[in-house]
Amino acid sequence: MAKLTGKTALVTGASRGIGRAIAQRLAADGALIAAHYGSDEAAAKDTVASIEQAGGRAFPVRAELGVDGDVDTLFAALEEGLSGQPLDILVNNAAGPSDGPIEEATPEGFDRLFAVNVKAPFFIIQRALPLLRDGGRIITISSTCTRVATPFQTSYAMTKGAVEVMGRTLANALGTRGITVNTVTPGATVTDLNASLFKTSGAEVYLAAMTALDRLGQPADIADVVAFLASHDARWITGHVLDASGGMYLG
Ligand code: NDP
């Protein structure tokens, strides 16, 4: 029997990139997947189709995050898809990209980034708590930019610092229910977000050279780590920030 047979999982931002790989991996492990997306319906359908073709189960959940009513929209679709089943695993993966160096920042862009990357995961967790089974899993995707200063993404790094603190404090709050709360920090990972940038700017070569394992990450590299944290094997790990970067910027 697969490790997650009988379990359910919500993966935000599952239409593309790292979120899609997480959804595919948790489905391969047996979980029923709620594949959340913001606007790219075709990509979300592709995620669901790829899971079903591999013999898994998934349904799409549309909700733009960072706008009024986002969590209500998400949970209306989630609860319909779960048809009364509880939730076992919540993966907060969706996030907006850096809005540039401080010289280019605007209050509106800053508020939007925090709304999508911090406020949304926090209130998704709050709304999920009554649905989450005791012994459940909450996993949030951060970034290595919380330990390495990258000036072109200060506000983005601030949002990721916030979710890492959230993970530690929530782990303490939810431990009595056996719910673990952990955070995963990818390094440079090839996704739609940055594939063309990496190729055309030479950043691919530079970032690989800054990585102990001498290559960029692939979404599946991150998905496998999330699957471990979601599994029974990781039952004694909570409040942890797990670096999944291939050893990026080790010095
Ligand atoms: P992508 O841009 O490839 O995918 C982002 C996903 O999040 C999509 O499914 C998108 O939905 C969804 N999303 C984004 N904004 C919103 C929003 N406002 N409302 C609803 N859905 C939204 O991102 P990655 O796969 O590259 O990144 C995934 C996670 O990993 C993020 O948390 C990111 O910060 C983190 N990360 C990524 C790194 C990398 O190098 N790629 C490095 C370190 C961390 P839709 O398809 O509908 O637009």
Which structure tokens are listed for 56? 């898994």
> Given the DSSP bridges, would you call strands 241-244 and 180-186 parallel, antiparallel or unpaired?
parallel
Q: Over 90: is that where the pLDDT of 193 sits?
A: no
Chain segment 72-114, per-residue pLDDT in tens:
999 999 999 999 999 999 999 999 998 889 999 999 999 999 9
pLDDT number for residue 160: 98
Q: Which of 46-55, 84-93, 146-155, 225-234 has the lowest mean pLDDT?
A: 146-155
What count of residues does the chain have?
251
Q: Assess whether the C-beta atom of 60 lies below 6 angstroms from ligand 1.
A: no
**Structural domain spans, the chain:** 8-190+219-243
> Given the DSSP bridges, would you call strands 241-244 and 57-62 parallel, antiparallel or unpaired?
unpaired
CA–CA distance, 41 with 234 (Å, rounded to integer): 33
pLDDT number for residue 126: 98
Instruction: Identify the band that residue 13 occupies on the pLDDT scale cut at 50, 70 and 90.
Output: very high
96 C-alpha vs ligand 1 centroid, how far in Å? 6
pLDDT number for residue 132: 98
Strand partners, 85: none
Going by the DSSP 8-state scheme, the letter that residue 5 receives in this structure is T
Q: Over 90: is that where the pLDDT of 199 sits?
A: no
Atom of ligand 1 nearest to the CA of 16: 9
Q: Ligand 1, atom 34: nearest CA belongs to which residue?
A: 95
Residues noted as catalytic: 156
pLDDT number for residue 198: 74
Pick from 10, 12, 16, 158 the residue to mutate for probing ligand 1's pocket: most ligand atoms within 8 Å of its CB.
16
pLDDT number for residue 2: 85
Pick from 46, 75, 93 the residue to mutate for probing ligand 1's pocket: most ligand atoms within 8 Å of its CB.
93
Chain segment 41-70, per-residue pLDDT in tens:
999 999 999 999 999 999 999 999 999 999
Which structure tokens are listed for 62? 């549309």
pLDDT number for residue 7: 98
Instruction: Identify the band that residue 20 occupies on the pLDDT scale cut at 50, 70 and 90.
Output: very high
151 C-alpha vs ligand 1 centroid, how far in Å? 20
1 C-alpha vs ligand 1 centroid, how far in Å? 31
Q: Does domain 8-190+219-243 have CATH number 3.40.50.720?
A: yes
Q: Over 90: is that where the pLDDT of 177 sits?
A: yes
81 C-alpha vs ligand 1 centroid, how far in Å? 22
Determine what percent of the chain is predicted with pLDDT higher than 70: 99
Instruction: Identify the band that residue 204 occupies on the pLDDT scale cut at 50, 70 and 90.
Output: confident
Which parts of 92-153 fold into alpha helices (H)?
107-114, 120-128
Chain segment 107-136, per-residue pLDDT in tens:
999 999 999 999 999 999 999 999 999 999
